[in-house]
Structure 1
Amino acid sequence: MPKPATAASWIAALGATLLMQSVASFLTQTLPVVAPLIMASAGLAPERIGNLSSLVAFGTVLFLLLGGPFLARLGPVRTLQLGTGIAAAALLVAAMGALPALMLASLMLGIGYGPTPPAGSRILAATAPKDHRTLIFSVKQAGAPLGGALAGLIAAPVAAYAGWGAALLVAVATAVVAAAAIQPLRESLDVERDPARRIGLRDVLSPHTIAAPVAALRIDPLLPRLTALSVAFAVCQGCLFSFTVTWLVETRGMSLVEAGGTFAAMQVAGVVARILLGWLADRTGRATRNLVVQAFVAAGSVVALALLPAGAPGWVLGALCALAGFVGASWNGISLAEVARVAPPDRVSDVTSGTTLFVFLGYVAGPSAFSALVTLSGSWSLPMVLVALLLAVVAALVGVSLRR
């Protein structure tokens, strides 16, 4: 007789979700990190990595819309393993190097990443102590910038010295090891799965399945406001993560390894911030208000980067990139914890999927619009300022609504 999910050690549950979040991020961030090489090999303009990043986000949207039956049938651990396998296969497809292969691989990467938010939230909502829920969710979400930092520190040097194909293979091997590592936890954490849940094409594409995540956002009046702020953060973070390496190489004259190191510093700052700001949210009990303040600081850091003179010292550039990572990539765990807090226990997956669905629409729209603006304006500064302006305006509107 398997143990109930609540009997599983929350530390083991956190370890498993943190590992899979880190690996999922490592897999998806490997592509933009090696973008200067892979785009040149495909004969594409470097800013076109934004279109591939949007395809990654669109793949995640597809899973969040249609993946509910799979999560219910397989359980969160098996669904995380399945997603990691799909993402690993995506990088093997990307290794072909042609544009159609890169487009298909990007879509598959997004589908593979899709299980990470709802499956992780389902595991932690059932196991995390309530007094430290925001901190624990934030620690788990720290895996996103941690995975990105590993991509900058590992994928960039491997790609520079052994070719971008070798960097993709390293990421594939990492995915296989991680999926095997969480297998011992499946018996305890997947105990509430529904083996009778149907996952045929008709069930997956049913109107009820598609509507469930969006309809769940009506459960609490905080959810639409929190979702709007999260989407604005997602546009900012998506553009930072998609273009930082390319921006540093193209406009600041950095080598790929130097740019990868700066990208890693941005990600590490996000890791520290997710833990620190998650702890602060638990202590203040004002998580959404904290996010509003954080949004204004993030917007200011992006504007500072956009307007930084070309001859500015390297340490100033690095510090601003780290600050942007600290405040612009540390909102996720706080947002997900707030979502889990207001959702009924049996609707955590649906509400998380609904919020994350709109977040990833922001990841779809942001990098594609950014890429188009770079092409049309011939400038990187204008799109960066507009991204910051969007975040600041949404934060102001949410802040006013909270005061009312």
Structure 2
Amino acid sequence: MQSAPPKPGASPETAALAPPGAAASPARAQPVCARQPGWQAALGVTLAMQTAAAALGQTLPVVAPVMTDAVGLSPESIGYLAGLGSLGTALFLACGAPVLARLGPVRTLQAGLLLAAGSIGLAALGWPPVLLFASLLLGIGYGPTPPAGSRILAATAPPQHRTLIFSVKQAGAPLGAALAGLAGPVVALRLGWEAVCILGLLAGLAVATAVQPWRAALDTERDPRRAVGPGALFGRSNLAAPFAALRLHPLLMPLALLSGAFACLQGSLFAFVVTWLVGKHGLPLPEAGMIFAVMQGAGVTARLVLGWVADRSGRPSLVLAVQAFAGAGLAALFALAPVGTPAPLLGLLAAGTGFVAASWNGISLAEVARVAPAARISDATSGVTLIVFFCYFVAPISFAAGAAAWGWTLPLLLIAALPAAAGLCVVPRLLRG
């Protein structure tokens, strides 16, 4: 299946956001009226928004031990909140293409961050039904970051450095989580977990405002007449577009499946590691938050290093294959650490796991942007990311149920095995691509 070329005068990315088979109309697309910024400015905007959105998304997991105790929930219930957040992200990825087309990528990122900030502020009310609703909205607010960021960078990144630039942008995810892990537990113990939510609200407002100067230059291809009503958002062609895009190249589905396996491991670790360190290993909350931050910091470093390696090697898929098996092994060692393991050793295991198991995102998205037709990059990115966030949704909820039934170790080992299992199935196809 090949996408039809856009009509003369239509931008590729405007065509990318139209339903398959529908050509973008040049009369409806906003004319380019400003010089396209360089890739450095585009990267700065996407990195800032990714970092802020990720920090908000990890706010509840890093204060989970005190929050769940305060509101009368079981410790493993943080998995249900994390799963709802991922479900919200998947909802945006499935339906949000018309919004992205109408507003443009920067405005859509701003709107998402404002929604996420408001949601984390709402969570401060501390009523369990409100926490569930806020988690869903928080995920919807995070939803624009993959397709909008890919749209901006695909248009500006030099091809010879594409994987590294995508990896730098994706490094904002563990960077934001590390900031949440460093600040959240300390603020929660001194001022209460609700204060952490209010701090997140203010930070989100500040970052969404700070990127405004670049909005006009980066949103030149938006279509202000694009319909965004229920019919446009939930129409069959719009909902089918991300999944149809996965058939546009034989490498896209293997990338999606391997990325989904990584997501199961990463999502479960990020949701539960603080609670696991406090509940099983008896660490104080700030120390557990520090180890969480170490894991995230290793992921930041790895996304830069492995993105560079992937570009230099010319075989990004081979780098992903190595990560699948190495990440599974290190995560299993982390899961098997016995009670009484010194905190520095736990931190070292967390760093190793974070380095290889939480640094796949940028390489995967860069490969999607490389192999997908130019006019369907946003749809292909949404398709792969939909599978990823479905796994982010299912894995923490399944992990929570498993932890309640069998304790921590067995669910951690099962989650750790998934990247290796997926690697055995899809790596041969990736290497042929």
TM range (shorter): over 0.9
2:50 is aligned, of 2, 5, 21, to 21
1:239 is aligned, of 263, 268, 285, to 268
Distance in 2 separating the partners of 1:200 and 1:373 = 40
Aligned to 1:267: 296
Deviations 1:356-401 (A, max 9, x none): 0000000001101111001111x20100110111221101111233
Distance in 2 separating the partners of 1:366 and 1:39 = 20
- C-alpha RMSD of matched pairs (Å): 1.1
Counterpart code for 2:215? R
**8 A Cα contact 1:71 1:119, kept in partner:** yes
Aligned to 1:179: 208
Deviations 1:141-178 (A, max 9, x none): 00000000000111111111110111111111110110
Deviations 1:283-340 (A, max 9, x none): 0111112101101111011110111122322221110011111111100000000000
Aligned to 2:67: 38
Matched, 1:386 2:414: yes
Aligned to 1:73: 102
Aligned to 1:159: 188
- The DSSP-based 3-state class of the residue aligned with 1:191 is coil
Taking the TM superposition and a 5 Å limit, the aligned residue runs for 1:1-400 are 2-3=32-33, 7-377=36-406, 379-400=407-428
Distance in 2 separating the partners of 1:385 and 1:352 = 29
**8 A Cα contact 1:2 1:187, kept in partner:** no
Counterpart code for 2:189? A
**8 A Cα contact 2:251 2:429, kept in partner:** no
Decide which structure has greater helix share. Answer: 1
Counterpart code for 1:391? P
TM-score for both structures, normalised by structure 1 = 0.98
Deviations 1:172-227 (A, max 9, x none): 11101101111111111000001111111111111011101111100000000000
Number of equivalent positions: 402
- The DSSP-based 3-state class of the residue aligned with 1:218 is coil
Distance in 1 separating the partners of 2:330 and 2:122 = 36
Counterpart code for 1:395? G
Distance in 2 separating the partners of 1:258 and 1:31 = 17
Uncovered stretches (5+) of structure 1, i.e. residues with no partner: none
TM-score for both structures, normalised by structure 2 = 0.91
Distance in 2 separating the partners of 1:193 and 1:260 = 41
Deviations 1:249-290 (A, max 9, x none): 001111111111110010000000000000000001111121
Deviations 1:41-82 (A, max 9, x none): 111110110010000000000000110000000000000000
- The DSSP-based 3-state class of the residue aligned with 2:224 is coil
Q: Using the TM superposition, give the Cα deviation of residue 403 of structure 1 relative to its aligned residue in structure 2, in angstroms.
A: 5.3
Distance in 2 separating the partners of 1:363 and 1:13 = 27
**8 A Cα contact 1:234 1:359, kept in partner:** yes
Distance in 2 separating the partners of 1:35 and 1:161 = 15
Q: Using the TM superposition, give the Cα deviation of residue 402 of structure 1 relative to its aligned residue in structure 2, in angstroms.
A: 3.9
Distance in 2 separating the partners of 1:170 and 1:18 = 20
Distance in 2 separating the partners of 1:53 and 1:333 = 22
Counterpart code for 2:343? G
- Which has the higher mean CA deviation after the structures are superposed, 343-352 or 359-368? 343-352
Q: Percent identity?
A: 55
Distance in 1 separating the partners of 2:112 and 2:340 = 44
